[in-house]
Amino acid sequence: MQSPITDPSGAEPLIEFDRVDKSFGDLKVLDKLNFRVDPGERVTLIGPSGSGKTTILRLLMTLEKVTPTADPETEGGVIYVEGKPYSHMEKGGKLVPASERWLRQRRSRVGMVFQQFNLFPNMKVLRNVTEAQVHVAGRSKAEAEAKAGELLELVGLSEKADEYPARLSGGQQQRVAIARALAMDPDILLLDEVTSALDPELVADVLAVLRDVAETTSITMLCVTHEMGFARDVSNRVLMFDNGQIVEQGAPEAIFSEPQEARTQDFLRAVLAE
Amino acid sequence: MQTQWSNETLREIFPAIWDGFLVVLQVTLVAGVIAIVLGLFVAIGERNGPVWLRRPLGALFQFVRNTPLLVQVLIVWTATSLYINPEWSAFAVGSAVLGVHYASYTSESYRAGIDAIPKGQWEAATALNLPARRVWGAVVLPQMARRSAAAVGNWIIAMFKEVPTLFVIGVMEMIAEARAFQGQHYTGAVEGYTLAGLLFLAASYPVAVAMRRLEIRLAKSNY
Amino acid sequence: MDFQAVIESLPRYGEPLLVTIGVTVASAALALVLAFTLGLMTGSRRLAVRTPARVFVEFFRGSSVVVQLFWFAFAMPVVLGIQFDYLIVAGIIALGFNYGAYSSEVVRGAIAAVPKGQLEAATALNLTPSQKMRLVVLPQAWPEMIPSLCAFAIMLLKASALVSVIGILDITWLAGLLGKQPGQDRLLHYGVVLVIYFILAWLIWTGMRALERKAKRGLGIDAKPAKGRLAPAVAEGGAL
């Protein structure tokens, strides 16, 4: 089953949300949301808290499920990745909500870095980075450790490989978390407010690592952040959210210099005043 | 009825009480393994088992937890000796009932240990696509073990002190030994019960202190 | 299985049920008094107050309640020369002392957990030590104690079945007696008794929940709805 929207340029979008709804109880966080991301794009999601940005990342990581629609073929409510259904699967020619097995298979190309790092505290840094390589990607221990070594060097933490996460600063833990996500060679990297939980002086190191990743790889990145400078430098496109809808989108220069919508202007004024 | 304390009787009854104490230790070992292992399965089963199993399992162990060990021992012993297999020893049946009874407590401690693991740990495991076996084996259980170790240890100490209940079905622990001695010699109950109490004190106090130390040490550890 | 005989003999459980309830309530009352006395004493800064209470608590926590029951009933009259007219008193004292010692740790812990700023504020208002305890500390500590005290109350109820083995005529004793009579099914009688204990445990739990809600309302806290778990495992640290 192909995604219903065809791109005039012919390039197939990597990620596509087709009229996606998401509610938590009575609270509607995404309202018939349409949007798409091309391969290699760096997209930053901005907007007031509660506007649904983080929910988009969590849906892509399958930590949440879309609110089901009665007839996905006509009503939408489906997420596609690489042109194939992602939140749903095909069964008897129809789209049905994905099974856990299907999700296991599909989410393997997606990686995520969390606001709270979420390193495994019972594993040393090295094993945090090798665990999934060995037990999910099926690499040998030596292979996984070699890869972990490279990535720890990339994030500047080679000498911490043998420490427990609790002995690292928040910024260091977050850099390990980035290495852990990259170790699985994801096509899509989701960054969920990765600097919000950090003390101000630790933010720069983490952002430097991410800038480095953005420059040296072609990984598609979706990023929820309040770091406008970082968003401006790294992203190709900025999406402004409010009430589960995209209010405005465009190149970072355009959004940050000449926002068209009043809501965007208010939001940027509030954030930059901080 | 005996009317006087006798050091002579104390010396005579000591070997019997000591034998009873060794039986208490054996029961504790067997029942402790059951409580530690079964409790873990119950905690996991109640949380992540098949949906049809969760409620009945929870209800069953809630019932076990809220009814007296003594009556449970009596009812199971009646069932095995009259209806199932009279060959089964009181030691085996008593240890099994004691172990299951305390599994109803340890499962709660395990459950609390699992619930205390931050949600982000499960989410990170999902994001890395770890299979369920690894999520439990490498992420959840090691973190749970640290959080639950002291509590489970305390339940095992409590269980140790409840072993004498099994005298009602004829397990020859200290109370039963003292009563048997009394039956033969018409004296010794006073010395026997006193000795039994002191042996418990001597055995469980150091372990309880060690457990408190462990609790403090685990609280200060890396995770 | 002969349900008829069991149903017909149900009325005979009436009086033993009063014994079970009586033993539980009396020893719980004793345990509660001891818990507060010992809890305040072990939390004291004065060594002369703390030490005897500590010894008492460790002595009764450290040994087995079953053995203590036999000791109070059959050894104490000889060793200490104290003889009760009724064996049931020995049972109540053994249970009350044992669970009082355990519960005192709950009281001590809850008192210690009251934020230090509260004591400093009370000092700033120039309250006397007993006023501080009565007006500031205990009202805040009490709601925190209730769940753990509830767990101990249920454990005490369960332990009350042990008095049957020293010859007190409670429901466990009656089930054993009736079960041996011809035409009666022992399994069914024990089953009946288990259900009675479960109902009693549920009543304790429900009562304690109501008490906790009331105590928390007194502090302006909305008690969360019950999680639906009867008798939680005793609060960590307060246990054993």
Q: Is B51 within a domain? A: yes
Q: Is C151 within a domain? A: yes
Q: Does A76 score more than 70 pLDDT?
A: yes
Report the chain A residue with the minimal C-alpha distance to residue B142: A122
Total structural domains within chain C: 1
Give A51's pLDDT tier (boundaries 50, 70, 90).
confident
A135 interface with B at CB cutoff 8 Å: yes
Q: How far does A54 lie from chain B, in Å, by closest CA?
A: 14
Q: Is C183 within a domain? A: yes
Stronger pLDDT, C85 or C162, i.e. the higher one? C162
Inter-chain residue contact C161 with B79, CB threshold 8 Å = no
Residue listed under structure tokens 């309302």: C217
Give C113's pLDDT tier (boundaries 50, 70, 90).
very high
CB A157 within 8 A of CB A173: no
pLDDT tens sequence across A198-236: 998 899 999 999 999 999 999 999 999 988 888 988 899
CATH number of the domain to which B193 belongs: 1.10.3720.10
Quote the CA–CA distance of B129 and C199 in Å, as a whole number: 46
Give C190's pLDDT tier (boundaries 50, 70, 90).
very high
**Nearest Cβ partner for B164 among C66, C194, C236:** C66
Q: Is C229 within a domain? A: no
Interface test with B, best of A60, A108, A114, A118 (most B CBs within 10 A): A118
pLDDT at B3: 73
Q: Is C228 within a domain? A: no
pLDDT at C224: 57
Q: What is the DSSP string of A57-91?
A: HHHHTTSS-PPP-S-HHHH--EEEETTEESSEEEE
CB C99 within 8 A of CB C27: yes
Q: Is B24 within a domain? A: yes
Total structural domains within chain B: 1
Q: What range does the domain containing B16 cover?
A: 7-220
Inter-chain residue contact C197 with B68, CB threshold 8 Å = yes
Q: What are phi and psi of B11, to 5 degrees?
A: -65, -40
pLDDT tens sequence across C33-73: 999 999 999 998 899 999 999 999 999 998 999 999 999 99
Q: Is C236 within a domain? A: no
Q: Does C1 score more than 90 pLDDT?
A: no
Q: Does A6 score more than 70 pLDDT?
A: no
C54 interface with B at CB cutoff 8 Å: no
CATH number of the domain to which C162 belongs: 1.10.3720.10
**pLDDT cut 90: percent of chain C above it:** 60
Q: What range does the domain containing C63 cover?
A: 3-217
**pLDDT cut 90: percent of chain B above it:** 75
**pLDDT cut 70: percent of chain C above it:** 91
Give C225's pLDDT tier (boundaries 50, 70, 90).
very low
The ipTM value here is 0.91
The beta strands (E) that lie in A177-269 are given as: 188-192, 220-224, 237-242, 245-250
Q: Is B168 within a domain? A: yes
Q: Is C222 within a domain? A: no
Give C232's pLDDT tier (boundaries 50, 70, 90).
very low
Q: Count how many residues are written for chain B.
A: 223
Q: Is C76 within a domain? A: yes
For chain B positions 102-121, those within 8 Å of chain C (CB to CB) are 105, 108-109, 112
CB A134 within 8 A of CB A123: no
Q: Does B110 score more than 50 pLDDT?
A: yes
- Long-range pairs for C55-61 at CB < 8 Å and ≥24 separation? C56/C101, C57/C101, C57/C104, C57/C105, C58/B205, C58/C101, C59/B201, C59/C101, C60/C97, C60/C98, C60/C100, C60/C101, C60/C102, C61/B208, C61/C98, C61/C101, C61/C102, C61/C105, C61/C240
Report the chain A residue with the minimal C-alpha distance to residue B143: A122
pLDDT at B212: 85
Tell whether domain A15-273 is in CATH 3.40.50.300: yes
Measured between beta carbons, which residues in chain B are less than 8 angstroms from residue C60?
A: none
pLDDT at B157: 93
